[in-house]
Structure 1
Amino acid sequence: MKINRRNFLKTTALTSLYFAGFGVPTLANNKIKKNLVVIMLRGGMDGLCAIPIKNDKKFEKLRSKINLDRTLELTSDFDLHPSLTTFKSLWDQDLGAAVHATNIPYTGRSHFDGQNLMESGGKIPYQEKTGWLGRGMKIAGLTGEGLALALPMPLLIRGVPMNNNYYPVGDRLPSKMTLGLIEQAFKDHDERLLGENLKIVLNRDLKNLGSRENWSLASNAGEQLSKTNGPRVAVFEVDGFDTHAAQGGTNGAHADCLNDYDRIVKGLKQSMSKEAFDNTLIVTLTEFGRTIKQNGSNGTEHGYGSAILMAGGLLKKAQVHTDWPGLKKKELFEGRDLNSTIDARSVYASAMSTVFDVEFDRIQKDVFWGDKLDNLSDKLFKA
């Protein structure tokens, strides 16, 4: 019996198989292994909900129904959402930081276009077929060292071959007969790259029947990132930040999403060795922020500027790095949104430069096509 490639890719057995474990990439040299974790916050994370400005009466009035009734203190200018308890604990150890009033260069307010651009790093939706993280890994020679905790493989990490996924399959695994048929299909059609990926699958420990909850995925990922021959890049996804109604304040939909992010960070911190976490950088990625003013449904609309949350031992110090634009009407983007004064791609380029040991100028040129970006490595990260 033969299976053609088209039918093979449509088969549910493939989906269950392909996302059922970890690969075993190796570190190519004797340098200290450094890890980069990207947590995508889909839906438009409200940076002013996660890190609200202090003592701005006009802002508080514009959000009278979704204000926070309690916060965690960060600086003289900014507080922290109370759901982010792990982040606050790391902040107190100089292991947490943020970049505020930042975003990718996209103002179109479409989730579909915005999420495509936040992953590709481009400026025209759907023009790029690879992600900025995948391109960065490619120029750093990190083939086979990426791990996506998502289904399917995110665009963000495409562009370098042999990346891996971990996504538990439930309570059933493919039979040996199914594996044999799949292997034969690749041989018959000479799919070299897909065949190489299949080898990763066939050599996995196919016992991953665990939880699909992000905290559980984070624990598994942390263990793998701690291994000297484990992956050096991991990607997570948190959905639900599109809070047009009932956004909530201290509690509610946005708070639940922030807590989900916080649990990922907690899972990574608890499961990673101290040495591994000290050499890890965790950053967030979202397509845009939310409007300053609440709407009639006690939610917020699609905005512009947001914030990047960061954690890990590669941070220089606890800080809210920002070129704060202000919240007066004339200072807002289109009179309604927190403006973006820092191109988020500058943060990501600087992060890759630090973790991958690649010159910032090369990342700027080869990953972001020479676009004007600021090297923030010395301001945000340890050398």
Structure 2
Amino acid sequence: MSHPRLNRRAFLHQGLALGCSAAALPLLTHATFAAAPIDHRIVVVILRGAMDGLDIIRPAGDPLLRQLRPKIAAEEGIPLGDFWQLHPRLGDLMPLWRAGELGFVQAVSTPYRDQRSHFDGQDLLEAGIGMDAPAGFRRDGWLNRLLAGLPGAKSETAFAIGREALPILSGAAPVHRWQPETTLALSAQGRRLLEQLYEGDMPFHIAAATALELTGQPLPLLPDEEEDLPLAAPPPVLPGAIKSDPEVGAFARFAAAQMREETRIVALSLPGWDSHAGQAGAILRPMARLSQLILTLRAELGPVWQKTAFMAMTEFGRTVRENGSAGTDHGTGGAMVTAGGAIRGGAVLGTWPGLSEDALYAGRDLMPTGDVRSVAGWVIHALTGAEKSRLSSEIFPGLDLGPNPGIV
């Protein structure tokens, strides 16, 4: 007996009449969804370039902040209580904060120290290891090791999304990978046929629409349709954002479409956080992209958002003092951004070390008082049921989980 989805896939794989190959539509070629091993969703975002956590979530109650950062911290932030302030350009996230769906963890880092290399720092972050970990653990990522121990996990369970490599999902456990393809060579008739083929199959219809959007060529109207088509609503404008990024929007919509079905783990990265000069302006675009990603995921996931834990982490923090170019250099302690209905938001977690000279790491950086792996480990423990012993031996080898920070 024929199956409509198999027929659609066969059509795409043959490439008949469309003028493109199946490889041009990687988002349409994933396998039939399988039973999901867990009910919650986990999104991990790597903020490449070393996000300045002291700028995103500011310790405004510490009188030394403005002395150490007279230009970067000159503009008043958005109060989050008596001590903390959110960056003034992240006001669009405040509804999530008030709803308990946005939180932060301050003064955290990986075990990486002193060498200050983006590449090495990201390698350790994605491998989930310390600097002295056995070489074997450097070959795969901690999310992949988590997948390997989830009963019933299939390749559909996890997606690596984006154009960059994501070692955090590399390893023995199979995963799906997707990146937007912007060079689809579809004729007008081919695009119309593709839309009609997937009209009654919502997950694939969404994926097809995303693929068409990424071509940058609007779907042409047939002559007899022009007067009957209702006017489309204008795209939403995100408050505080410089400009919506179409690629970030595509990432979020595609991720949400999969997470509404059988995908449970998504990883992607957002670059651009290296702010050595003119940080007050340089940090705006990556902040806007992060905000857009969170808000689009929340809107697209619908009720699934309440089962979602979003964690954004970076390879290391930045120096406490601004430099002569009104920027910051590579540091140590930083911050994590958390969101979703599955996390306990509306709070800034972590032990604050202070900004006094004797409280800094190496006299220049925010002192780390927590480990990003521990935060992620407690989230994983709560949402997947992974045993603490496995977290400390297999997923994050050598990690002392420490006390529960109360993030979930």
- CA 1:123–1:219 in structure 2 vs 1: closer, same or farther (change >3 Å)? same
Match of 1:360 in 2: 388
CA distance in 1, matches of 2:185, 2:176: 18
Do residues 129 (structure 1) and 158 (structure 2) align? no
- Alignment counterpart, residue 180 of structure 2, candidates 142, 149, 168: 168
Q: CA deviation at 1:160?
A: 4.4
CA distance in 1, matches of 2:73, 2:258: 39
Task: Look up the SS of the partner of 1:245 in the other structure.
Answer: coil
Which residue identity lines up with residue 73 of structure 1 in the other structure?
P
CA deviation map 1:167-224 (0-9, x unaligned): 12113269xxxxxxxxxxxxxxxxxxxxxxxxxxxxx969724336112210221122
Q: How does 1:273-352 map to 2 (within 5 A)?
A: 273-274=302-303, 276-352=304-380
CA distance in 2, matches of 1:68, 1:295: 15
Q: Conserved in 1, the CA contact under 8 Å of 2:378 and 2:401?
A: no
Q: Sequence identity of aligned pairs in percent?
A: 30
Task: Look up the SS of the partner of 2:283 in the other structure.
Answer: helix
Query: Alignment RMSD, CA only?
Result: 2.6
CA distance in 2, matches of 1:22, 1:79: 43
CA distance in 1, matches of 2:407, 2:297: 21
Q: Which moved further from structure 2: 324-333 or 163-172?
A: 163-172
Q: CA deviation at 1:119?
A: 0.5
- Alignment counterpart, residue 251 of structure 2, candidates 217, 229, 237: 217
Do residues 266 (structure 1) and 295 (structure 2) align? yes
Task: Look up the SS of the partner of 1:40 in the other structure.
Answer: strand
TM-score by length of 2: 0.76
Match of 2:126 in 1: 119
Q: Conserved in 1, the CA contact under 8 Å of 2:106 and 2:350?
A: yes
Q: How does 1:59-138 map to 2 (within 5 A)?
A: 59-107=65-113, 108-124=115-131, 127=135, 128-138=138-148
Do residues 235 (structure 1) and 235 (structure 2) align? no
Task: Look up the SS of the partner of 1:70 in the other structure.
Answer: coil
Match of 2:154 in 1: 143
Larger radius of gyration between Structure 1 and Structure 2? 2
Match of 1:255 in 2: 284
CA distance in 1, matches of 2:29, 2:73: 42
Task: Look up the SS of the partner of 1:54 in the other structure.
Answer: coil
Do residues 376 (structure 1) and 404 (structure 2) align? yes
Q: Conserved in 2, the CA contact under 8 Å of 1:171 and 1:209?
A: no
CA distance in 1, matches of 2:267, 2:402: 24
Q: CA deviation at 1:354?
A: 2.0
Q: CA deviation at 1:16?
A: 5.0
- Alignment counterpart, residue 26 of structure 1, candidates 34, 55, 64: 34
TM-score by length of 1: 0.80
CA distance in 2, matches of 1:78, 1:355: 28
CA deviation map 1:284-303 (0-9, x unaligned): 11000110111111110000
Consecutive unaligned residues of structure 1, counting only runs of 5 or more, are 1-12, 175-203
Task: Look up the SS of the partner of 1:37 in the other structure.
Answer: strand
- CA 1:359–1:257 in structure 2 vs 1: closer, same or farther (change >3 Å)? same
Match of 1:180 in 2: none
- CA 1:262–1:160 in structure 2 vs 1: closer, same or farther (change >3 Å)? farther
- CA 1:335–1:42 in structure 2 vs 1: closer, same or farther (change >3 Å)? same
Task: Look up the SS of the partner of 1:65 in the other structure.
Answer: coil
CA distance in 2, matches of 1:70, 1:159: 45
CA deviation map 1:58-114 (0-9, x unaligned): 220221121141311212211101232343211100111111000111112110100
CA distance in 1, matches of 2:251, 2:144: 21
Q: Which moved further from structure 2: 359-368 or 288-297?
A: 359-368
- Structure 1 runs of 4+ aligned residues shifted over 3 Å read 13-25, 124-127, 204-207, 209-212
- CA 1:91–1:136 in structure 2 vs 1: closer, same or farther (change >3 Å)? same
Which residue identity lines up with residue 322 of structure 2 in the other structure?
Q
Match of 1:156 in 2: 168
Task: Look up the SS of the partner of 2:365 in the other structure.
Answer: coil
Which residue identity lines up with residue 43 of structure 2 in the other structure?
V
- CA 1:288–1:23 in structure 2 vs 1: closer, same or farther (change >3 Å)? farther
Which residue identity lines up with residue 269 of structure 1 in the other structure?
R
Q: How does 1:187-202 map to 2 (within 5 A)?
A: none
CA distance in 2, matches of 1:118, 1:361: 20
Number of aligned residue pairs: give it.
333
Q: Conserved in 2, the CA contact under 8 Å of 1:85 and 1:262?
A: no
